[in-house]
Amino acid sequence: MEATTPCARSLAHVRGMRMAHEFLLGAFDLAYAEADLVHTAGGASKTHVLWSLGHLSVDYDTVIGPALGLEPQLPAHLSERFLYGTKPVPDASLYPPLAELRAHADASFHRVVQRIAAMTDAELDAPVPPDHPLATFFGSMDEFLRIVPFHVGYHLGQVSLLRVSRGLPGLFS
């Protein structure tokens, strides 16, 4: 088997993802009442904290992993609750507990970054596999991975705003 040498770009991706993941774990570890978890901003917005954290917890396994050639390992019912396009519902009992989602997020994250850390320049310059749902959005794996910390930040910003709107400390308060 041919040996691969981690490249500077892959390590840069891992660094950005690792820092974003630490913030995600920090968001899981905050205190929430059940009503805080399913509170929405109103209007057309259906997003709530529980869906946002669940969405990020399955993203590593069901979106990033398959682009890297990794088979999803999380139960299918999690994807049905949290993938792109799913509608958040205002009933916390229909979702797994936060502790379970946190464990899934952390395990999936480590599987994914282990793979990314070993990527070569050629692998980063390769296109996203054509059967991946986001293949047409990105010109290469490098471009695809660049959006990961942004995506985590995007949803954690919403988690923070939803918390502050209810009088709770934000993620960086």
Partner 1 sequence: MGPKNQRDFADKESDRMTTPRAAVHIQSMQIVHGMLVRALTFPYTNEQLTFTQGSSRSHILWLLGHLVWAYDAAVGASIGLKPVLPPRYSELFAFSTKPSTNVADYPPLEELLARANECYERACARIATLTEAELAAPLSPHHPLAKAFPSLDHFLSMGPFHTGYHLGQIGLLRTAQGMPSLVGM
Contacting residues toward partner 1, per CB under 8 A: 7-9, 11-13, 15-16, 19-20, 23, 41-45, 47, 121, 142-143, 146-147, 149-158, 160-162, 164-167
**In the complex, what is the shortest distance from the CB of residue 147 to partner 1, in angstroms, rounded to a whole number?**
6
Cα–Cα distance for residue pair 62/96, rounded to 1 Å: 17
Nearer to partner 1, 1 or 43 (CB): 43
Residue with tokens 């320049």: 121
Q: What is the DSSP letter of 117?
A: H
Round to the nearest angstrom and report the end-to-end CA distance of the chain. 49
Closest by alpha carbon to 157, among 46, 47, 18? 47
Residue 78 vs 156, nearer CB to partner 1: 156
Residue 45 β-bridge partners:
42
CB nearer partner 1, residue 114 or residue 154: 154
